[in-house]
Amino acid sequence: MKSTKFVSKRNDAQLVSFFSDVAHLIGAATISIHTTGQTKAFNLPVDDTNSDYEWIRNSKLQSVVVISVNVSRVHISIDRRPEQNSGATFDVSLFDALSFNVTADNSGNTPLNAEEANAVSQLIEDVFGQDINTASAAFKDPKSFQTILRSHQQIIERLQQMTLEVGEQAAVARRKLDEEYTALKKTLEEATAEQRRQSQEALDAQLETLTERTDAIAARAKALDDRDNTHVRRELHEKLKARLADRFKKLDLTPETKRARLPIHVGVTATGIVLAILIFWFTREALSVTAQTDSIAAERILAIAKSATASLGFLGILSWYLRWMNRWFERLADSEFQLKQFELDITRAQWVVETAFEWKMSQQSPIPDQLLENISRNLFVGTEKDDGADMHPADYLASALIGKASNVKLAVPGAEIELGPKALKGASV
């Protein structure tokens, strides 16, 4: 069952109150409301005490587009949408279409009994019936109808005027806000630019200060480096001189070198002892043989040759040992002289370096090469060694005696030995 009634327009608060009463009658918990400017409807609880919906309960406007209340197979609504009222036979500016729809089930039963349906109809009659009767009477009386139309037209004009005033106020407020925004933006931009300029000036001043401090630190570091280099150089010079002085105090062969020479001492000593025994034995034999009158000449010569050979061997090993020892002593003396010369050269080199630095600092230019060459001449230059200095005094004597002789005769007990030029040549070499 569906019925539609034309009822006079009511404001939002009246419509909400009416549909709340209908919801209590049919047992609905919420009311569906769709207002102007909203994209979708919202549900208003019937017994709601929340202040979020107080605006719609007290609204004197006609902003409701669709309002309805629903339960199972019962639908009551007012729809003001133009597409729903495009073919209406009534004036939509004065009246609304109230739809009351009740659907029966398959067995023909309706969700509302007769009493509930009558109560809803009576509520509709109580709320909208008097206005309908008044409207009907107005239509019967042309003067009343014209008065209503004039009143309606005045209301519309007043609403339009209010709309224009609100629009103008909104435009003025918007322009004012734009002007305030522009002024505030300009002020903020100027303040930001000024703050940026001050920050840049402070940063430039700090950078300049840091640059000056960096240059001063670099100059200070350079001066400290130069002074440190001088101190370090002098300290190294003193340490080197101290080590050289310590070396002079302990100028001797190392224990390892002494242990390496020990076999030679032992070998020479043993050889000398053996040769001394042989000399004693062969000399005793030669004396014994020469004392015998019946001995032959060959035996005497052999005995004398044995003694002479052992004597020459003993003298040769003794001469070699003395010469070897003399060479060691000479090397130690040369090393000492070289250390002394090295110490003098170190001192001279230190003096040359200090002189060059002082010249550069005072004259702001390097020391001339000619002057530097003169004051550093013969630094760390070794002297040439005289090979003849290694000769043993016996070598000098042999060279003096044998070098100019054509032959040498050696008189031994009981015999005489003669050495020719070839043998002398080998001996002199």
Give every CB contact of residue 19 below 8 A, 6+ residues apart in sequence: 31, 67, 68, 69, 76
Residues in the chain: 429
Q: What is the pLDDT of residues 40-71, one digit of tens each?
A: 888 888 887 666 778 888 888 888 888 898 88
Q: What is the pLDDT of residues 324-366, one digit of tens each?
A: 888 888 887 787 777 777 777 777 777 777 787 778 777 878 8
Q: What is the pLDDT of residues 255-288, one digit of tens each?
A: 777 787 788 888 888 888 988 888 888 888 878 7
Confidence class for position 225, pLDDT limits 50, 70, 90: low
Confidence class for position 429, pLDDT limits 50, 70, 90: very low
Of the ranges 168-182, 214-228, 358-372, 379-393, which is most confident? 168-182
**Does pLDDT of 151 surpass 80?**
no
Share of the chain above pLDDT 70, in %: 71
Give every CB contact of residue 166 below 8 A, 6+ residues apart in sequence: none
Confidence class for position 89, pLDDT limits 50, 70, 90: low
Q: What's the confidence (pLDDT) of residue 189?
A: 92
**Does pLDDT of 157 surpass 70?**
yes
Lookup result for tokens 């040992």: 321
Q: What's the confidence (pLDDT) of residue 424?
A: 43
Distance (Å, rounded) from C-alpha 375 to C-alpha 368? Answer: 11
E-only strand ranges, 60-126: 64-71, 74-79, 95-102
Q: Where are the alpha helices (DSSP H) in 103-141?
A: 114-124, 130-140
Contact 121, 127 (CB under 8 A): no
Burial readout 249-271 (b: 16 or more C-beta within 10 A, e: otherwise): eeeeeeeeeeeeeeeeeeebeeb
**Does pLDDT of 384 surpass 70?**
no
> Which long-range contacts does 342-351 make (Cβ < 8 Å, 24+ apart)?
342/244, 342/380, 343/241, 343/244, 345/379, 345/380, 346/237, 346/240, 346/241, 346/244, 347/237, 347/241, 348/376, 348/379, 349/376, 349/379, 349/380, 350/233, 350/234, 350/237
Confidence class for position 144, pLDDT limits 50, 70, 90: low
Distance (Å, rounded) from C-alpha 56 to C-alpha 16? Answer: 8
Give every CB contact of residue 90 below 8 A, 6+ residues apart in sequence: 6, 97
**Does pLDDT of 147 surpass 50?**
yes
Confidence class for position 188, pLDDT limits 50, 70, 90: very high
Q: What is the pLDDT of residues 2-14, one digit of tens each?
A: 777 778 888 888 8
pTM over 0.85: no
Q: What is the pLDDT of residues 299-330, one digit of tens each?
A: 777 878 888 888 888 888 888 888 888 888 88
Q: What's the confidence (pLDDT) of residue 184?
A: 92
What tokens appear for 130 in the block?
A: 């008097």
What tokens appear for 202 in the block?
A: 């402070």
Share of the chain above pLDDT 90, in %: 5
Distance (Å, rounded) from C-alpha 63 to C-alpha 65? Answer: 6
